[in-house]
Amino acid sequence: MDLEATPLDSIAQPRPCVRCSKPCLLWVVGRCADCMADMYFNHPEDYRAFKDDVREEFGTKAIA
């Protein structure tokens, strides 16, 4: 997405989740909130891979 070409007051548009393909507004590294919760509670191996993707995309939080 080109942020310079997108007006700051534009309305958020749904994006498809890469895991379930449902359109969603809350989207982190391709996954919707429902899938994030499902991975956390029911699929720990998928959740670990998701956390690795988040760290790769955003880095890690440094604790001083």
Q: Whole-angstrom Cα distance, residue 44 to residue 14?
A: 26
Q: What is the pLDDT along the chain (64 residues), one digit of tens a residue?
A: 455 666 667 788 899 999 999 999 998 999 999 999 999 999 999 999 999 999 999 887 766 5
Amino acid in the structure at residue 8: L
Residue 47 phi, psi dihedral angles, 5° rounding:
-65, -40
DSSP 4-34: GGS-TTPPP--EE-TTT--EESSEETTEEHH
pTM for the structure as a whole: 0.73
What is the predicted pLDDT for the residue at 5?
63
Of 28, 17, 19, nearest in space to 54 by CA: 28
